[in-house]
Amino acid sequence: MKVIKIFSKRFVRLTALILCLLLVLPLAACGENRREQREIYAMDTIMTLTAYGKNAEAGLNAAESVILAMDVMLDPELPTSTVYAINHANGASVVVSAQIAKMLTSAKTVYDQSGGALDLSLYPLVKRWGFVDQKYYKPTDAEIQEDLSRLCFDKMILTSFPASGSYTLIIPENGQFTFGAVAKGCAAENAIDSMRQAGVESGIISLGGNVQTLGLKPDGSLWKVAIQDPEDPNGYVGVIGVGETAVVTSGPYQRNFTLKGTVYHHIINPATGYPSGSALRSVTIICEDGTMADCLSTAMFVLGESKALNYWRTYGGFEMILITNDDRIVCTKGLLEDFTLSPEADKYKVVYSE
């Protein structure tokens, strides 16, 4: 007997719909994990922005806008910038944004707790050494003392007006500020916030030595952030696994010049006016607050290994990796299960500090 199957039009339509759904669902899942990446140049650095998901492009647009706006706002040599206005106010008050207020308060906290190892009023010295216009120069002792006399971070007056959400800043008339030690950390933090507001749930941005993550990787695993080898611009000493946080590295290898066989780098010690002579090659800070992480990376480098570890023990709130001149990688104990030494970095000895 021959069996004849008869399908109704309704059944055919239903079958077609099911087949379409089966095809669309995998595509939707792929769309949720779609990766969008963009490179921009700002703050004298090539920056890489990465976002995942259906809102990735909107998130990148928002993050780029934040970074470029902060770049303009914080350029001390741009006459239309807020920092230029601060440095040329001759003691008058200047209206500043919440972003600048956050950087100032974070830096002031580290300044107070570190005994002045981080000082945003170093701009005259930074410029004198040539790290602003790349016209490198070794100042005389008299010039250094002159610029040290202009340090005034402890004399700033930052006033908040809660009703309007605005702030004003007053610094001494001969003072000049630079936000170079904190700008990228704050920019990264704000860029990640803008990505989140745009609907992005997973992303990572790298602003030079500043990395900040949003959520976890699309597959739910931790981000793997490489820690650069201070002696090899193309190598790394290891990786750390992190969730949503900031990873900020400071080191003399990032900006320096050589004069008569001596290397001078950009991390100036406010106590001496000279590049910091701590026996460290780099400092990496892992902290949820990107602005604070940037502040700490500079201050801990200036403090050196012993004082930096004492600071961490006293105040906490972050983890730290110190690479020393004698080839040790000193990790705070919170990184015991998160840091993995690179096979190519076997000359380094990893130790964990309590």
**Contact criterion met (CB below 8 Å) for 295 and 317:** no
Judge whether 260 lies within some domain. Answer: yes
Q: Which ranges in the chain belong to alpha helices (H)?
A: 9-32, 56-74, 82-87, 98-114, 123-128, 141-148, 183-197, 290-303, 305-315
**Splitting the chain (354 residues) into consecutive groups of 10 residues, what average pLDDT does each group show?**
35 36 38 86 96 98 98 97 98 97 98 98 98 95 98 98 93 97 97 98 95 97 96 93 98 93 96 96 98 98 98 98 98 96 94 93
What pLDDT is recorded for position 281? 97
Beta bridge partners, 226, equal 239
Judge whether 40 lies within some domain. Answer: no
3-class DSSP state for residue 102?
helix
Q: Name the residue range of residue 289's domain.
A: 222-354
Judge whether 332 lies within some domain. Answer: yes
Our count of domains for the chain comes to 1
What pLDDT is recorded for position 13? 39
Cα(353)–Cα(228) distance, rounded to whole angstroms? 21
Judge whether 140 lies within some domain. Answer: no
Judge whether 25 lies within some domain. Answer: no
**Contact criterion met (CB below 8 Å) for 301 and 267:** yes
Radius of gyration from C-alpha coordinates of the chain: 25
What pLDDT is recorded for position 170? 98
What pLDDT is recorded for position 168? 98
Cα(64)–Cα(40) distance, rounded to whole angstroms? 8
Judge whether 341 lies within some domain. Answer: yes
3-class DSSP state for residue 233?
strand
Judge whether 213 lies within some domain. Answer: no
Question: Domain of 319: which CATH number?
Answer: 3.10.520.10
Judge whether 291 lies within some domain. Answer: yes
